[in-house]
Amino acid sequence: MGRMRTANLIVKMLEHEGVEYIFGVPGEENLDIMDALLDSKIEFIVTRHETGAAFIAGTYGRLTGKPGVCLSTLGPGATNLLTGVANANMDRSPIVAITGQAGLDRQHKESHQYYDLISMYAPVTKWNAAIKSREIISEVIRKAFHVASGEKPGATHIDIPEDIAAIDVEEQPPLFKVEHQLSEAGDEVIEKVKDEITNAKNPLILAGNGITRGNASKQLITLVEKYSIPVTHTFMGKGALPWTHELSLFTAGLGGKDYITCGFENADLIITIGFDMAEYPPVNWNPTGDKVILHIDTTEAETDSHYPVNLNVIGDIASNLEKITDSLPERKEISPWISRLRKNMLDELKEYENDTEFPLKPQRIISDLRSVMGEDDIVLSDVGAHKMWLARMYHCYQPNTMLISNGLASMGIALPAAIGAKLVYPDRKIVAVCGDGGFQMTSAELETAVRLKLPIVILLWRDDGYGLIEWKQMKAFNRASHIKFGNPDFVKLAESYGAKAFRINKTEELKPVLQQALKLDQPVLIDCPVDYGENLKLTKRLGELIC
């Protein structure tokens, strides 16, 4: 082994970890890393903002299970990166963030662009460290990837002072990767689970994001079919059970009353599987705290007065679901309330599929979108009123075919996330659904998509305001406050970046335009006016719902 720059050794360690891409923005304090990447097989993808880089990396991590990597310089670069890192951490997406940093010779005093990034990143990561000694490089890199990918996955952060990156170091051998191993529940616990389930008259499963992470959808389906247990999904658990299955009660997640509220009220046992509280606060579905809860996950439940766990089943979700299924007798009869509730939900979906009013109703947009997407194609939702409609009404055949960020739930995620999804699945159709508010927060990444020649579609719901906030303001105070803004000509904006663009002028145009856009070999933006008058109509209708 010979000597090399520390930056080159770091890049070599990243190669050993199997890193394909690094997303980010170059800066002065990461000059040596950027130069080392020129001689690497790792592809560095320049983004137009550091937050976008972290959003792309987080989506890569969520879809592959391998940590996505993003990079920034110090100061404002690192603070811009922070939001995307926090978003990945709360969404349980593995990500390794790398920041350049001021040299060790000026970290003890007030200095240009210097902040203590280790302290700043600590609350939004599972682990972080600064490489202040060349002897610890292999340990820091290995630990960052190991911790990020372990259950529950999330973000780690490596801070690299510029003077350390530039010095020579003796080459170090990479540390061996150690696979994460999860235990299985013991027979005594499984027997207790059997008793809990068989003693319940109306058990209901709440399927969370952990089922997808644990590749446990097949085991979930076997369980629910053997004992006829209905399933509702969190926003991030969508698709764990195909929406066409007779035991699927679609998606829970609205803060107020909805059809699934009847399901929770009727249930005498809630079985949460792979569920994180950040996905759907228990106070929304167990307001009195009196439901019996069976918690099946990789880690024990968070303490919450509305989440009184009667029994924890901890370990590998897929293996434990198999053991639970084997322990149960067959119960093929489906309770009438399940079929009745499912019919009500499906009737709502069909109600607007031929609606021709303009601007388009959310229900019609979703109906058209679902009709043109294949079973394994991917829709990515930004954050806004459209997210609530998509979560309720865009139904999935498979896990990870609708990505909704519902932990930190940061606006602006959909376009960068679509870039990440297309890099992972180049042969699938990818559609980012954005509001005009969220899109403008990261719209510069449209240039990134054009530069990379990625055929993604941005379906823009335009209402010239912050529609979700107006919805909540009207519910709370019956008047709106400071939610309107102006917009550019989105068609011209997209075309100026080199993308193709369409504007919807009547309702009947949307489906054929979507079909055309999905066939084009370039990024496409569709400017679609939406009628959010449906928001309060939905609130009123659901408020009158009688279970």
Q: What is the pLDDT of residue 525?
A: 98
Say if residue 256's pLDDT is above 80. Answer: no
Residue 69 φ/ψ, nearest 5 degrees: -120, 135
Q: What is the mean pLDDT of residues 507-519?
A: 98
Say if residue 51's pLDDT is above 70. Answer: yes
Q: What is the pLDDT of residue 540?
A: 77
Tokens of 423: 């890099």
How far is it between the farthest Cα atoms of the chain?
Answer: 74
DSSP state of 333: P
Say if residue 545's pLDDT is above 70. Answer: no
Give pLDDT tens digits for 355-399. 999 999 999 999 999 999 999 999 999 999 999 999 999 999 999
Q: What is the pLDDT of residue 391?
A: 92
Give pLDDT tens digits for 406-456. 989 999 999 999 999 999 999 999 999 999 999 999 999 999 999 999 999
Q: What is the pLDDT of residue 534?
A: 84
3-state secondary structure string, 456-484?
A: CEEEEEECCECHHHHHHHHHHHCCCCCCE
Identify which of 324, 432, 482, 348 has the alpha carbon closest to the alpha carbon of residue 52. Answer: 432
Rounded Cα distance, 234 and 220, in Å:
15
Question: What is the enclosing helix (H) or strand (E) of 432?
Answer: strand 430-435
Strands 21-24 and 43-46, bridge-based pairing:
parallel
b/e code 131-157 from CB counts within 10 Å (16+ = b):
beebeebbebbbbbbbbbbbbbbbbbb
Say if residue 78's pLDDT is above 90. Answer: yes
Residue that wins the pLDDT comparison between 105 and 398: 398
* Lowest mean per-residue pLDDT among 19-23, 26-30, 294-298: 26-30
Q: What is the DSSP string of 16-32?
A: HTT--EEEE---GGGHH
Say if residue 40's pLDDT is above 70. Answer: yes
Residue whose entry in the numeric block shows the structure tokens 């609530």: 388
* Lowest mean per-residue pLDDT among 245-259, 261-275, 323-337: 245-259
Residue that wins the pLDDT comparison between 172 and 80: 80
Q: What is the DSSP string of 273-314?
A: ES--TTTS-GGGT-TTS-S-EEEEESSPPPP-TT--EEEEEE
- The amino acid that residue 453 corresponds to is K
Residue whose entry in the numeric block shows the structure tokens 């870039």: 419
Residue 295 φ/ψ, nearest 5 degrees: -105, 115
Identify which of 429, 485, 435 has the alpha carbon closest to the alpha carbon of residue 460. Answer: 435
Q: What is the pLDDT of residue 271?
A: 98
**C-alpha torsion sign, points 197, 200, 201, 202:** negative
Average pLDDT, the chain: 93
Q: What is the pLDDT of residue 173?
A: 78
What Cα–Cα distance (Å) separates residue 316 from each residue in 152, 313, 470?
A: 11, 9, 42
Give pLDDT tens digits for 151-194. 999 999 999 998 888 788 887 777 777 777 888 989 999 999 99
Give pLDDT tens digits for 118-145. 999 999 999 999 999 988 999 999 999 9
Contact call for residues 379 and 431 (beta carbons, < 8 A): yes
Q: What is the pLDDT of residue 316?
A: 96
Residue whose entry in the numeric block shows the structure tokens 């990870």: 400
Give pLDDT tens digits for 227-253. 999 999 999 999 999 999 999 999 997
Give pLDDT tens digits for 210-228. 999 999 999 999 999 999 9
3 state DSSP class of 122: helix
Residue that wins the pLDDT comparison between 343 and 398: 398
3 state DSSP class of 376: coil
Q: What is the DSSP string of 154-206?
A: -EEEEEEEHHHHHSEEE--PPPPP---------HHHHHHHHHHHHH-SSEEEE
Q: Return the percentage of the chain with pLDDT > 90, whole number.
A: 77
Q: What is the pLDDT of residue 348?
A: 80
Q: What is the pLDDT of residue 538?
A: 78
Strand order in the sheet with 155-161: 43-46, 21-24, 68-72, 95-101, 155-161, 127-130
3 state DSSP class of 237: helix
| Predicted TM-score (pTM) of this structure | 0.95
Domains and CATH numbers, the chain: 3-170 (3.40.50.970), 187-333 (3.40.50.1220), 352-542 (3.40.50.970)
Q: What is the mean pLDDT of residues 314-335?
A: 95
Torsion of CA 254, 256, 262, 263, to 10 degrees: 30
Q: What is the mean pLDDT of residues 277-300?
A: 92
Rounded Cα distance, 338 and 229, in Å:
9
Identify which of 145, 137, 98, 103 has the alpha carbon closest to the alpha carbon of residue 5. Answer: 137
3 state DSSP class of 79: helix
Report residue 546's pLDDT band, with 50, 70 and 90 as the boundaries. low
Residue that wins the pLDDT comparison between 140 and 352: 140
